[in-house]
A and B are shown apart, each in its own frame.
Chain A
């Protein structure tokens, strides 16, 4: 709900002009009435309409500035005829009117060129820019007429007003790392893969990784869904990264890294996982000295020691890591455990410190007789550490020494548990069972359709609506489990269905291993107690979710240790934002956001994707392209990458489905 003078946002029509404040109707959308806590907005204009917050607005200049933003600052890429010339004509004609040189014929030409842009432009930006301009020309006609009839300047023509524009897209907005998705897809479509990669790396250094194992929330906000099926956004990301690796090219940075500043400022990063690497990369691009402290002998965090080789080949992840560690400004200290004492030293020595140590404690399943020291009781994190350290790095010994011909039961339902069961198969377990409290639909939603089906194909047995009640052991060796069965009972009052235990549903499973993979917690022992650092109710480190500074000055947190166990892309998004804040903080001691970041947050609140919008001008019914996977027998007993990825042809065909839903919006402050 927002208070507006006038709004055409998403086809609502509110006109409170001349009404008393009691008669005002308000907008149903979370429009940015206040740009920041101490700066109010005059107006907001964008792809879906215009909202005026203050009565005294210069509509002619507003329209002109919007056209100018499209022309000058936006992604008005000039890559289609209507957008390229149309955008310029819009601006030239509007400016002509605003400065007092316009004619009524210009209004006609504006309408005509707008219409052509709206039906023929290549990107959504060209198709949507005319909409609010036409709205203004219609509903603030008197202002336009006045300029033309009197050949006079619009009323605020010479005033100093701030127009802050931001280009986004539904997918970009939904992506926690706000990756410029249409740009990297366009790079694939154009077969200029270096540009594709450059676009990704503006906000996402882990292109190999997030082109393989990202759960792609962006695809839930893909406008193509309104037409047929979402674009396979995630898989298209890896093409750029593969191209760089395949051809041994120099690193494709989003811009030329700035030379190392050597001004005495330096930032410490605790943990070399996705959040740590991302923080390091964007600080290093700015020429700021970074030291990364990693407890393990290998870099990469959970993606290295948690995500298995068959999903995320280490040679590819190592390329993402090398991108970061090859930067002049980055120094890595592996095998370097940071405890509370060391953290105090670091905190004192560095200008800012980023906590990015993840969540590496496996939570318990809460069954009777559950003891961590039982033989056969193996936390998911420890188990995956062992598997991955051996298969990827040859460190330690093979987990098949433990698991071969054994029966393994995993309790879980998320990605980690899928990794546990599928690795167990690969390590030669005789029987692998997944116990999950909820149903098949939910496990697919929590992971992916492919992940679940591939596990089933490989022989994992899923028992849904079930939970472990008790663990049995002989001489401290697990022998069997008592399992409760549940059923989903609909609420007669129409509320949420409840899981209810089936009284005579209990059964036992003989097993050698129980691997809990229900969730992970952050190991907070390294935080000095005397800091009294504020935590969330989930026992993760508290920040405001915008600038990622903790309750202690100069101490930042991002990734799983801030959010709780979440996705790689979430960690990257947080760390990217935090690194931007740090670049300023270490020089001015202030925690601030850029206009671009403020707009990013406003748009995210407003919601860019409208799942009810009707898409026109595209041929519906072109199915999403699915890449080739290894057959079950080709992949079941080895660590070959299961997903072969798109062939070039498939990738281009999929990229051609992308509707380039760029939008430009602008706040007037």
Chain B
């Protein structure tokens, strides 16, 4: 229902349920706030945003109070200004006058508002308290600078879902407390990013630069398929070295979020590279004789298109191990839905009443998807059903039902899910689902029928459902039929399916490149292994720029094409130089942007014309959303095959926490523990002891790991990270669970 109100004489439109503040902001009307943070529910602690409403006695809190149709609102009167100024005076009581050495100086809300309200003298006094600085690892907390706006606590509970920060109430002595100092916090830095003052600062960045000396370069994060908005903040390293350095990453925290990898893992540039002409000539020759180009999905759309063009021109195989399974999976899914893309997106996940996560350790695989699940859990009380062979303890307060299934049984699980969720009149589908051998599927997958009954029972609302699909499924032996079954769920239920890309630009690669299965002949490795290797990791046949040194676009999990810019300049050769030497002809890499394949939903928009901002009420205007185009339909489904069994100990490939790739591994700020973690039950089955050194081979890559028992884990599956394997880390192309032979090494 639309409503109209008048603010300061201006007619403003809104929707019932909109707050006064939001309508004002949408209409570019300013109301001062100290505690308001658009991306969370109103906190209402600062009381600065009070306004006058005609016919209503007293001052009305505009951030929380919803507008009533016809309301006549005045945002500023002498009385309101007086109270706002008094509130600023209260905030300034005993606030340490250390702006000269405070990290926040220059971008501090307290500083800004103190000036705005001309608080030039203090009439209020209170006894000062002794409040020492606390070290929380990545972050330092200075309670004497804290104004108790509570933004940090809100993002931690409502968006990140770690529930690490809490308010210790006690009037004047109130403070923010870290309740999990000894436990895992995902070290995302969200709390720090939203702190309006210098109370929460990065321990690493602290005292390293004044805010105003840093140059902000808008970009997109390159670590996973969420490609979140961020800015690299750079300045020259010293007066002796004019080379710029990234000092920190900030983001538009008012509307969007980052995970720890995005915020702290920014130091992965390929530095000190110059144009090595010999190496370049060698590279051109290598391309000319290549049979295969093998590449990682940590790549821009433009680079992918260049590779595709080279492939077409020289008839070279393109192999992308990270994206191949995903591309096929998406194609099979599309063959059922008749559309080029899945329908789910992040925003709708955050608004869901019911979410099923299937085949992903989502908290590690894609933190941004997890954040959106958290938002749904907190704001919507969403039922979150997490289906996986392993419990994820860190998701406990988000998940409402954990359905554990046997490793390898994903096809059967998907079939059971389809049967539970689909209620279709279509005869073929009905027959297919009715003919499923439920007893057998249930027994093999170890999912009880009562668990599925509980699942349906808990989804008792009529709409707002999301199904999140993860990378356990893309390389499953039965991936094809799994994808088709999911396609059925997409079109025959009110679930929106989101198929999370397994690597940064796996979706872009899938939509841009014609990929082959097999590597053959002479192989170029582009950020991966090969006979001739080009890599941003350095020390290879030809250096290329890292993604924070490039401009171009990514295709995100949200089906959005987002631009990224050059954070740090790169002085060597780039792929486009090779392409031009090979007879393609575009001056800049970004000249390819408008030529991304329209048939797969891209738009013919020049790079420099791509928008990159959030508007005043938080709508995202970054790049553009892919068009969803029609896809050839083929409704044939396969029989469910006999499920393979995985008895004994199993290894699960999964990068934990803030690590995603060889690039995050380069960061000195991120934890890079690379042990094989398993429960004591795993240890028994695998005949291992804590701290045993072992080796094993997966996809032709040899791993040496120390085994560590994790007491929070259960079952016979251990988690193996792959991010530290350098160029080999992109070669993982098989089903995530495996049973390699574990050989003990002498320690």
Contacts and interface: CB of A to CB of B under 8 A. Distances in A.
Contact of B174 (A84, A119, A644): A84
Nearest to B458: A246
Contacts of A249: 396-397
B47 A649 contact: no
A84 B148 contact: yes
B90 A81 contact: yes
B123 A109 contact: yes
A2 interface: no
Contact of A648 (B61, B150, B382): B382
Interface in B66-121: 66, 68, 71, 83, 86-87, 90-91, 93
Given A78-B171, A247-B400, A618-B60, A122 B126 contact: no
A247 B90 contact: no
Nearest to B174: A78
Contacts of B47: 80-82, 120-122
B58 A616 contact: yes
A191 B172 contact: no
A647 B353 contact: yes
A619 B45 contact: no
Contacts of B50: 119-120
Nearest to B86: A116
B127 A92 contact: yes
A113 interface: yes
Contacts of B238: none
Interface in A607-655: 614, 616-622, 628, 644, 646-649, 651-653
B44 A112 contact: no
Interface of B: 17, 20, 34, 41-42, 44-48, 50, 53, 56-61, 64-66, 68, 71, 83, 86-87, 90-91, 93, 123-127, 147-148, 150, 154, 157-158, 163, 166-167, 169-174, 353, 377-383, 396-400, 460-461
A79 interface: yes
B124 A619 contact: no
Contact of A92 (B53, B126, B167): B126
A593 B91 CA distance: 42
21 contacts: A71-B172, A77-B169, A78-B169, A78-B173, A80-B47, A81-B87, A85-B124, A88-B126, A89-B124, A109-B124, A113-B90, A120-B83, A122-B44, A191-B379, A243-B381, A247-B397, A247-B400, A622-B65, A648-B380, A652-B41, A656-B64
Given A120-B59, A614-B57, A648-B379, A622 B68 contact: yes
A112 B82 CA distance: 10
Contacts of B380: 647-649
A86 interface: yes
A246 B445 CA distance: 24
A170 interface: no
Given A79-B45, A120-B87, A617 B123 contact: no
A299 B48 CA distance: 52
Given A85-B126, A617-B59, A190 B83 contact: no
Given A82-B90, A112-B123, A647-B353, A192 B157 contact: yes
A628 B461 contact: yes
A465 interface: no
Contacts of B44: 80, 122
A644 B490 CA distance: 26
A1 B304 CA distance: 86
Given A246-B400, A247-B396, A647-B461, A81 B381 contact: no
A221 interface: no
A189 interface: yes
Chain A interface residue bracket vs B = 35 or more
A85 B400 contact: no
A622 B18 CA distance: 12
Contacts of B396: 247-249
A246 B396 CA distance: 10
B353 A119 contact: no
Nearest to B167: A79
A507 B164 CA distance: 69
A84 B171 contact: yes
Contact of A656 (B42, B157, B167): B42
Interface in A505-533: none
Interface string A154-190: 0000000000000000000000000000000000011
B87 A82 contact: yes
Interface centre among A74, A75, A191, A656 (most CB of B within 10 A): A191
A75 B171 CA distance: 8
A183 to B, nearest CB: 10
A348 interface: no
A76 interface: yes
Interface string A107-125: 0010011001001111000
B65 A618 contact: yes
Contacts, number: 167
Contact of A89 (B34, B93, B154): B93
A616 B91 CA distance: 25
Contacts of A116: 83, 86-87, 90
A87 interface: yes
A119 B124 contact: no
A113 B68 CA distance: 31
Q: Which 6 A-B pairs have the closest CB atoms?
A: A78-B174, A617-B58, A616-B58, A648-B381, A88-B172, A616-B57
A191 B45 contact: no
A618 B59 CA distance: 7
Contacts of A189: 41
Nearest to B62: A619
Nearest to B374: A191
A583 B505 CA distance: 65
A31 interface: no
A630 to B, nearest CB: 9
Contacts of B60: 617-619
Interface string A223-246: 000000000000000010011001
B41 A619 contact: no
Contact of B461 (A76, A122, A248, A644): A644
Given A88-B172, A89-B124, A122 B45 contact: yes
Given A92-B125, A116-B86, A619-B60, A81 B91 contact: yes
Nearest to A119: B59
A35 B724 CA distance: 72
A72 interface: yes
Contacts of A119: 50, 58-59, 83
A80 B381 contact: no
Contacts of B86: 82, 112-113, 116
Nearest to A96: B125
Contacts of A84: 90, 148, 171-172, 174
A625 B65 CA distance: 15
With a 10 A CB-CB cut-off, give which of A80, A92, A112, A616 has the most chain B CB atoms: A80
Nearest to B395: A247
Nearest to A75: B169
A248 B48 CA distance: 40
Contacts of B163: 192
A85 B157 contact: no
A81 B147 contact: yes
A71 B397 CA distance: 34
Contacts of B383: 246
Nearest to B381: A648
Which one of A85, A116, A644, A656 has the highest number of Cβ atoms from chain B below 10 Å of its Cβ? A85
A244 to B, nearest CB: 10
B168 to A, nearest CB: 9
B172 A619 contact: no
A228 to B, nearest CB: 10
Given A82-B86, A85-B90, A618-B58, 9 more contacts: A78-B174, A85-B124, A85-B126, A116-B86, A191-B378, A239-B381, A646-B381, A647-B353, A648-B379
B66 A622 contact: yes
Nearest to B44: A122
Contacts of A656: 41-42, 64
Contacts of A246: 383, 400
